[in-house]
Structure 1
């Protein structure tokens, strides 16, 4: 909160009266409206663990291999070329699997 140092100072009586009035105003302003929310509608959007998803179809867009990437022959993660630790028989291994 910004303080105006050029404003005239209030004595203790004025400060206590103002603060009580401000508190009353703040209490009336803070009351939030009551929200009627249907719990069943809200719950329909959640998927429970172990739910039957056999009729759902997953759509994934697979990007082609980039020139600066390789797939580690050990952990099968796509890594940047700077993480190649060794090459054996045409297969590349990352620095994490090397150690």
Structure 2
């Protein structure tokens, strides 16, 4: 952005007045953007623990473990080889579990 060095500069009082006016304007703008939300719709979409999900299907594509990945022997998550911290009793351990 180009700066006009010949333009008159504002004093600190003018700058503080400008910023106060900007804050007042922002407060007015924020209150105009408030949207009413019907909470009854939100409550219907929540799942309760122990709910019957037997008729639900997951659409997740599961990939087999790749050659550069390993399964942690403690958390049983698949990690990239760069996350390997150590090997204990024949089990590979990730950095998170080793910490």
Report the TM range for the smaller structure's normalisation.
0.3 to 0.5
The structure with more radius of gyration:
1
TM-score, normalising length from structure 2? 0.44
TM norm structure 1: 0.44
